[in-house]
Structures are given as C-alpha cells and as structure tokens.
Amino acid sequence: MNKILKTEAMGRLLAILTRHIGIEKAIGMGELYTRVYGKPWLHRINDTRDLRHVITELRNKGVLIGETRSQTGGGYYLARSAHELKMFFDRRKHEAVKKLAMIANMQKIGLPELLGQMQLNLKEGTYGNPEPEE
C-alpha cells in the first residue's frame, strides 16, 4: 500500500470507528474492510492484511482501538472506558506471555530467566528489531 493510500485508509478507518465506540458496537473485519477500501475482501487473511497494518500503526500512535473475538459479534471498536481498555490490555498481555512461555520452553529455560534476559537486553539497548525472516 503506498503512503497516500495508507493515509487515506487511516482517515477512513478513524471516521468509521467513531461510529463504533464501545465493545458492544464492534464492527467485524469484513464489514470494516469493505467500508474502508470500498470493495469486499476475497481472502480473509491475505486481503485484510493491509487493514490490520493500519490498525496496528494507529494503535502504535496511541489510538485506543480495541478488538473482541466474540463468536457472536467480534470486531474492532474505539474503547469507551477504562474497563474496556483493561480487558483488551489483559488479553494482549496474556497472549504475549503465552508466546514468551513457548519460546522459553523451546530454549529449555524458565520464563523468568527469559524475561530477565530480555530486560537486560532492553537496558543495554541491544534488543531491537529481529532479523527479517527469509
């Protein structure tokens, strides 16, 4: 996606999400994609990748975009309350810890040891972007 299209997508996404404030008003990925890009997605994972990148970039800029994975109404929304943010943050932290625990198990070390190594690397400034996968 080129820069102009990405900027336009960000603006459209934010405009749409202002009508989806609160978890009960979450908008599904399919509908959100169609409304942002003006066309339906054909492949759920591949076609929505750009939109997920836009959502991530906005989150990294501090926009409080939450998500729910409910079977009956999952999707994206702008968080309305501290409680909604806490639920989102707690779920994301839980997912992160599960991934780190898997890495620790694969390295045959304890999770506290892995976290300590990561903290040390952060303090030393040696923990940056991983090498790209080939």
List pLDDT tens digits, range 106-118.
Answer: 999 999 999 998 8
pLDDT given for residue 128 in this prediction: 58
DSSP secondary structure code for residue 77 in this structure = E
Tokens 């339906």, located at residue: 40
Render pLDDT for 39-92 as a digit per residue (tens, 0 to 9): 988 887 888 899 999 999 999 999 999 999 877 768 999 999 999 999 999 999
Neighbours of 67 (CB within 10 A): 18
**How many angstroms separate the first and last alpha carbons of the chain?**
21
Q: What is the mean pLDDT of the chain?
A: 88
Nearest to 30 by CA among 16, 46, 19, 44: 44
pLDDT given for residue 133 in this prediction: 52
Name the 3-class secondary structure at 61: coil
Q: What is the pTM of this model?
A: 0.79
Beta bridge partners of 27: 76
